[in-house]
Amino acid sequence: MKRTLCFVVVALILCTTFVQGKPQFGKAELFNDNWKFSLSDVKEASNPSLDDSKWTKLNLPHDWSIEGIYSPDKASCTGYLPGGIGWYRKTFIVPESEKGNKTFIYFEGVYNHSEVFINGTSIGKRPNGYISFMYDLTPYLKYGKENIVAVRVDHSLERDSRWYSGSGIYRDTYLVSASPVHLDLWGVYFKASSVTNKKAEVSVQTTVNNGLNKITDVRILNEIVEPKTGKVITSATKDMKIHAQLKAEFQQILTIPSPKIWSIETPNLYILRTKVMRDKKIIDQNAQEIGLRTLTFDPDKGFALNGVWTKVKGVCIHHDAGCLGSAVPREVWKRRLITLKETGCNAIRLSHNPQAPDIYELCDELGLLVMDEAFDEWEFAKRKWITGWNVGTPEFQGAASYFNEWSDRDLTDMILRDRNHASIIMWSIGNEVDYPNDPYSHPVLDHANINQPVLGEYLPDHPKAERLGVIAKRLAAIVRSLDTSRPVTAALAGVVMSNETDYPFVLDITGYNYTEDRYAQDHAKYPKRVIYGSENGNSMESWKAVRDNKYIFGQFIWTGIDYLGESGAWPSRGFYSGFIDFGGFLKPRGHFRQALWDTKPVTYIGSYPQPSDKSQLSTDAWPIWNYKDGEMVRVVCYTNSPKSKLMLNNKQVGEIKSLDDNTGVIYWDIPFQEGKLKVVGMDNDNHQTCQFELQSSGRPYSIKILSDMKSIKKDKGLAQVVAQVVDENGIPVMISEDEITCTIDGQAKLLGLEASNNSDMGDYTDNVQHAYHGRLIAYIQATGTVGKITVKFTAPWLKEGSVIIESVE
């Protein structure tokens, strides 16, 4: 009997009319400004009387590694950037009027091994750099007087990650004031008993914390509101007694008539308002957005969203953004995610750790599915490459050092924090923890024992692979105890070995990393198993393995965006296989993927010198049309049009080409002639459906500003301004690498300049950067004052470019 997994879900995200990412209780205010920082392990730094007047003043979020110097004596795995130990301190006053209330500090993420002190007293440690956490400051506060919070961040084991992690308090921080009786942290949870076009029935579980020393009577009111009109659609109340110093859970059922469904195409959202009342007064409340959808996973049919069978077209992403490091503003993520969705991408795998709340909220709003992932390693550290990707002698620092002690709590906190997001469709408990002989091993690896290619020799002195099943059972049980609305999954790297253990059989759905050749045989051998590609290459073959097999519901390409770390041999900032580069610009391989995934007609051409191996077809051909006159050039086209015609200076060159379903690439080899090169996509009746053109450029002449930002919010609003080098006719000069200087006049600061050159290991902390592919992007952040901001770009021998942006309330 086959197994079909159906999940009926109501999911919620934080209301956009409130501070994004804040804790779901009390009055939460951003606690990011006016910190002091020292990149050293200062003795007595937790002591309130310490003189920190010479420390650096800064605002959070802050990543000190990205402010460091790229150096070949650092590790390639973390992008040749430094770690270290740093201290943060902040002075604040809690007024006398807050006596009797509770005060908490909430961190979205601190990398890593953090310890927090309040007025000299240590109140907690958290080794995991990706987990959000909170401490109660109340017992240690001095009301009406100065208080000192100090945070020690120990990233001295700087080779502890296979990719760039960053260092410091790199996400938002909040100070939360709450009544002694308040909603618990992440204390509102939704599930649905049914969702149809006529109605949705949902249960709301609300957890309330009673910090008083007496039994307390409370009333819970939940309202679901139509966001555009503000009309209350449905509501429910419940009264309950909560015993002293205990928590209580409230279950309520609400019915939404004729619900608007959340989907990829129409990510409809409602607002949920939760209020806690005592003696007829509101003592706590929050507002969140909710989305309704259903999930179905079937071993033969794949995946259905709201009953519609759907191929998951996903990408994997890490959490950095080039020159910004890991302290990435929300606006940067929004631009990146919109660009990915425009390629036909409909899903994001958050590799390989919980990420910033901004990302989940944006995926909810934009209609992107999410695979949320907890761990990259379990009880043993993986190899960390030091002198280049997969070369040399590795080291073995990593999160495994605290996995046994902290994994239950870390996983619990990830689920509790994220479980109400409409976008999340599955929970991953691990990535490639089963990589053969790194470190687990099994006799099946001796190829003589199985009818398989060589997988690596069985190493009997290594940990036994059976441990994978033991750990997976524990982790999966934690997930299911907290959320039954989504399946438990993992990304398997050594499925042949894992099939000999309980590991894949503990999962609800099973991810295969790169092993497309296993799909058919494992589908036949394990007919109840739901299979998908959890990590895949960018080839046509890997896509056809999904497209042409109904039982494979999707894939996640490595990777959606170029990222720092996992670098090659020096000079190399990071891994360069993304659809999008460090600066958020779509690359040729992104156009290639769009031709495979997008449903609307698209086409693209790029070029390179005709190769000696005439079968060589690149998916990385840049849109350049500048060569020597008469030089033979290969023009490659990525398109989903049935037919394509190439035009040079308004004359057809070569024959009309049909779509190539074997390679996904069509091409023409033609002699170069200066001018305009255009490809026209046509349907089967030769009607034009799309086009793309290139133009030969002259010498660099001026800097053109590409920005539609007329204004930004004065409180840290961000403008993303592109400076494009063009010739005298305004044509982009793709081969330009001019050195560009950015200056700002007005109440704003430059967060960074990014040109996306992977081999440029220069200084990314100043206002000067070489263009790459003729452009760069500047991140301009307002500093708190209303007024005019003038951003100017200059370069030797080029006409300058400038833009005026208003900083507004």
Which residues are marked as active site? 432, 535
Crossing angle (nearest 10°) for helices 466-482 and 403-418: 30
> What is the Cα 189 distance to its own chain's centre?
23
Residue 612 token pair: 């000696």
Of 351, 363, 264, 344, which is closest to residue 593 (Cα–Cα)? 344
Distances (CA, A) of 403 to 135, 166, 249, 432: 21, 20, 30, 15
600, exposed or middle or buried, with CB in 10 Å at 0-12, 13-18, 19+? exposed
- In the chain, the amino acid numbered 636 is V
The number of beta carbons lying within 10 Å of the beta carbon of residue 239 is 10
**Measured CA distances, 17 to 13, 20, 289, 419, 491 (Å):** 12, 8, 10, 21, 36
Q: What pairs with residue 103 in β-bridges?
A: 177
Nearest-angstrom CA–CA distance, 533 and 531? 7
Distance CA 369, CA 267 (A): 11
**Of 706, 774, 773, 781, whose CA–CA distance to 751 is shortest?**
781
Please say whether the beta carbons of 698 and 731 come within 8 A.
Answer: yes
- What order of strands is seen across the sheet that includes strand 715-726? 702-706, 715-726, 775-783, 748-754
The span from the CA of 235 to the CA of 311, in Å, is 36
Task: Tell me how far apart the terminal alpha carbons of the chain are, to the nearest angstrom.
Answer: 61
Q: How far is CA 524 from the centre of its chain?
A: 34
Q: Where are the alpha helices (DSSP H) in 483-560?
A: 495-498, 503-506, 519-525, 540-547
Structure tokens at 798: 């080029």
d(CA 106, CA 21): 11
